[in-house]
Chain A
Amino acid sequence: AQSVTQLGSHVSVSEGALVLLRCNYSSSVPPYLFWYVQYPNQGLQLLLKYTSAATLVKGINGFEAEFKKSETSFHLTKPSAHMSDAAEYFCAVSSRVNNLFFGTGTRLTVIP
């Protein structure tokens, strides 16, 4: 079975500060891991994904995430937050079939 846990339902950072959103996964097989972002009143869109190639994955808008098997983690980071990063972020895991298992989401607020 697969699942993800996102620590912190709300995270606030100042503009220009480091963004760190935490995700831990559970999977009985080598996982595929994803981060999606949802802006207000929109659907989810992919930020980045890990599919067993490089453990450090770079995505859109300056975000990146590192797969750490020993810690079962896939935390999302961005060196410098921008106001436009305010959104809800979802971590998700899948195995070798279609369906994704999403976390409960983390709402990011960026303070000017």
Chain B
Amino acid sequence: DAGVIQSPRHEVTEMGQEVTLRCKPISGHNSLFWYRQTMMRGLELLIYFNNNVPIDDSGMPEDRFSAKMPNASFSTLKIQPSEPRDSAVYFCASSPLTSGQETQYFGPGTRLLVL
């Protein structure tokens, strides 16, 4: 299995531009998570999906952030418009539909820099 795939691995953009991050979860996994990691705030859960349905988006910072999961094999996290404070590493993770004890498998992350 290829594991969780994220693209792009690196993104540099200018303030005000739209950024779209992509994730392909492990085949057969029904839960998908988006995290953000910064030095100041550590690892934060932004949103997670079960069976393509958003369950908890309370971690999404503001309306500039949106996430979709149109099918079981693809999810996007969009930032529009982007701001310098959005600079971070964004991780996608997937797991089997869970009772809380399943392992989450993380992708390699997208390193975003907003100038």
Contacts and interface: CB of A to CB of B under 8 A. Distances in A.
Given A44-B93, A97-B100, A103-B42, 19 more contacts: A41-B109, A42-B108, A43-B91, A43-B106, A43-B107, A43-B109, A44-B43, A44-B91, A44-B106, A46-B103, A49-B101, A49-B103, A94-B100, A94-B101, A98-B31, A98-B95, A98-B100, A99-B33, A102-B42
B54 to A, nearest CB: 12
B12 interface: no
B82 interface: no
Size bracket, chain B contacts? 20 to 34
* Most chain B beta-carbon contacts within 10 A, residue among A34, A43, A90: A43
Interface residues of A, number: 23
A46 B106 CA distance: 9
Given A43-B109, A44-B91, A96 B43 contact: no
